[in-house]
Amino acid sequence: MASLDDLKKRIASVKSTQKITKAMKMVAAAKLRKAQESAEKGRPYSEKMNNVILNLSSGISDKENAPKLLAGTGQEKVHLCVVMTSDRGLCGGFNSNIIKKAKSYFSKILDENKELKIITVGSKGNDQLKRTYGDKIIENISFKESKNANYFDADKVGKIIIEKFEAGEFDVCTIFYNKFKNVITQIPQAQQIIPLNDEGNENSSDESYEFEPDEDEILSNLLPKNISTQIFKAMLENSASEQGSRMSAMDNATRNAGEMVDKLTIEYNRSRQAAITKELIEIISGAESL
C-alpha cells in the first residue's frame, strides 16, 4: 500500500490536473460559441456559390469543352487528398477520426493501384500520417499563427491545389474534415472537390441566365474561387468541431479526475485510520506485557 505521503501528493497532483482540464473546458466552450457562429455565418456564401455554379454548369451545353476543374481530366489515376486537422492536441477523437476516415480511403486507392498524394493541413494530421504515409505527403500546411479560420488562409490552400492541378499533378482531389453536428457529434467527411461532384443537381432551376462575359469565362473564374470557398467551409466546420470535441473531452477528463480524487481520498483516510489503529494496538499490547 502506498504511504500516506505518496497518497497526499497523488491527490494534489490529480487536483491540479483537474483544474487545468476545467479551465481548458471553459476556454473551449467560449471558443466554440464563436466558432459555431462563424461557421453558421459562413454558410450562405458557400451555399450561394454552389447554387451559382450549379446554375452555370446546367447551362453549359458543351460538356466536352467544360473547364477541367468541373469536368475532370478524364482519368482517375492520381488522387490528391487534403487532410485537414487541428494544430493542437487534447481534443478527444477529433484528429484520429479524420485520420481513420482518410486512412481507409487511402488503402482503397492504393488497392486499386492508383497513385496517392497527400497534403496535410494542420500539424496533428501530419504527425499521425507521416509514419505510414510519409513518402506520399507532398506538402504540409499549418496555420498556427492565425487565431481563427480566415478566408485568406483558405485561399492560400486553394491556390496551392489549383496550381498543382494545372500542372497536371493529380486528377481527383478530395478533402477530409470533420463536419460539426453538435457538441458531442462530429462527423468525419470526405468531400470530392475536383472534379466537382454535381450531386443534388436537381434543385437547380431551368431558368436561363444572361451571362456577361460568356459562361466559360465565368466558370473558369468561378471554379477556383469555389475551391477556396469549399476549403474555407471545411476550415470553419473543422474549427467548430475541434472546439466541441475538446470541450466534451475536457469535460470527461474533469469528471474522471473528480472521481479519482474521491477514490484516492477514501484510500488516504483508510490508511490514515489504519496507521492510528496500528499505533494504538502497539501501545496497548506494550502496556499489557508489562
Partner 1 sequence: MSEEFKIEIVNPEKSFLVKEDVSEVVVPAFEGEMGILKDHISIISFLKPGIIKVSSKSGDENYYVEDGIVEFKNNNLSILTSSIYNLSDMDKSVQQNLLKKAEEEAGKSDINDQTKYLVDQKIEVLKTLN
- Cell numbers of 82, please? 487534403
To 10 degrees, what angle do helices 4-59 and 215-289 make?
170
Q: Which residues pair with 83 in a beta bridge?
A: 120, 176
- Residue 60 as a binder of partner 1 (CB under 8 A): the answer is no
* DSSP string across 80-110: EEEEE--S---STTHHHHHHHHHHHHHHHHH
- Cell numbers of 231, please? 476549403
58, 140, 142, 150: residue in contact with partner 1 (rule CB under 8 A): 150
- Candidate segments 48-56, 137-145, 187-195, 247-255, binder of partner 1 by CB under 8 A: 48-56
- Cell numbers of 288, please? 499489557
Residue closer to partner 1 by CB (options 102, 222) is: 222
- Residue 181 as a binder of partner 1 (CB under 8 A): the answer is no
Q: Which residues pair with 180 in a beta bridge?
A: 186
With 0-12 / 13-18 / 19 or more C-beta atoms within 10 angstroms meaning exposed / middle / buried, residue 5 is exposed
17, 27, 55, 136: residue in contact with partner 1 (rule CB under 8 A): 55
Residue closer to partner 1 by CB (options 91, 227) is: 227
211, 270, 281, 284: residue in contact with partner 1 (rule CB under 8 A): 211
128, 229, 239, 243: residue in contact with partner 1 (rule CB under 8 A): 229
- Residue 74 as a binder of partner 1 (CB under 8 A): the answer is no
Residue closer to partner 1 by CB (options 34, 270) is: 34
- Cell numbers of 169, please? 499533378
Cα dist. 167→14, 79, 97, 161 in Å?
Answer: 54, 14, 32, 10
145, 199, 206, 207: residue in contact with partner 1 (rule CB under 8 A): 207
Give the nearest distance from C-beta 245 to partner 1 in angstroms: 23
Residue closer to partner 1 by CB (options 101, 233) is: 233
Helix (H, G, I), strand (E, B) or coil at 66: coil
- Residue 108 as a binder of partner 1 (CB under 8 A): the answer is no
Residues whose CB is less than 8 angstroms from the CB of residue 111 and which lie 6 or more positions away in sequence, other chains included: none
- Residue 212 as a binder of partner 1 (CB under 8 A): the answer is yes
- Residue 161 as a binder of partner 1 (CB under 8 A): the answer is no
DSSP E strand boundaries for 107-164: 115-121, 137-141
20, 27, 49, 90: residue in contact with partner 1 (rule CB under 8 A): 49
- Residue 209 as a binder of partner 1 (CB under 8 A): the answer is yes
Q: Are 88 and 107 in contact (CB under 8 A)?
A: no
CA distance 100 to 123: 16
Amino acid at 2: A
- Closest residue by Cα to residue 56 from 196, 173, 261: 196
Annotated catalytic residues are: 91
- Residue 210 as a binder of partner 1 (CB under 8 A): the answer is yes
35, 232, 249, 254: residue in contact with partner 1 (rule CB under 8 A): 232
Using CB under 8 A, which residues numbered 7 to 46 contact partner 1?
Answer: 38, 41-42, 44-46
Q: How far is CA 2 from the centre of its chain?
A: 41
- Residue 253 as a binder of partner 1 (CB under 8 A): the answer is no
Give the nearest distance from C-beta 131 to partner 1 in angstroms: 34
Residues making contact with partner 1 (CB under 8 A): 38, 41-42, 44-46, 48-49, 51-52, 55-56, 150-151, 154-155, 205, 207-213, 218, 221-222, 225, 229, 232
